[in-house]
Amino acid sequence: MYLILVSILSILYIVYLIIKKEKNLPPGPTDYSIPIFGHLFSLGKHPQETLLKWCQNRQSDIIHCYFGQKLVIVLNNYDLIKQAFLDDNYSARAQPFIFEEHFHGKGLTYADGER
């Protein structure tokens, strides 16, 4: 009996995670993402091209997507990118482990402080 109840509650929670919508976010590539994996399976072999297509499909210069469980905001406009790099509110953001492992703190998008 308890196993059935736990199973039903787990399924309902997974459905909730799939259909919930974040407030105050720019449009995303789709209305849903896979729990735990996000939009990773949708990126394909050339993720940068896929992200640009998503911006074109949504007719927006700013979109959101999930890389795993991490929310990512994609900017596709020179002025928006310039504002993000110049504004102190966007600095010192968390760096994903894979970027630190690959670029050793020398990447452009996650650079912080004097170099």
* pLDDT, tens digit, 9 for 90 and up, residues 23-81: 777 777 776 677 778 778 878 888 888 888 888 888 888 888 888 878 888 888 899 88
* pLDDT, tens digit, 9 for 90 and up, residues 68-92: 878 888 888 899 888 887 876 666 6
Which alpha helices (DSSP H) does 20-115 contain, by range? 47-58, 78-86, 97-103
Which pTM value belongs to this model? Answer: 0.58
pLDDT for res 9 = 92
